[in-house]
Amino acid sequence: MSRKNISSGTEWEPYVGYSRAVRVGSTIYVSGTTATDDHGKLAGSGHPYHQTIRCLRNIENALERLGAKMSDVVRTRMYVVDISQWKEIGRAHGEFFGGILPASTMVEVSGLVDPEMLVEIEAEAVLTEP
């Protein structure tokens, strides 16, 4: 079975040893994705809704590079630093996935790699036609 890795181009991927996303056959795994822009700078500082939108756009970009779309997503995992912000984060997630309804998890964590990051999201997608 073939494997294809893609990179977001950040300095952290080779340092930590991971890929933005990996496609094996018809399954795509997207690593924990934060609200960074194309230059690696945090977008939406202090705003959980805006950070979630940026995370999901970054995931969408990774999926497209591997021949998938958001409608192929079957599972997401959301890691949030303040669970009291779940409605804003959930609203953004719902705007992307309301008609798709992937299996999903949201958990509070003690922190992310940058203290200004409020949310990190993983995704898994399955292509019905590889």
Domain boundary assignment for the chain = 3-126
Q: Which residues pair with 73 in a beta bridge?
A: 125
Residue type present at position 3: R
Question: In the chain, pLDDT over 90 holds for what percent of residues?
Answer: 88
Report, as an integer, the average pLDDT of 21-30. 97
Predicted confidence band at 12 (pLDDT cuts at 50, 70, 90)? confident
Domain 3-126: give its CATH code: 3.30.1330.40
The pTM of the full predicted model, rounded to 2 decimals, is: 0.95
At residue 130, the pLDDT reads 52
Phi, psi for 85 (deg, rounded to 5): -95, 15
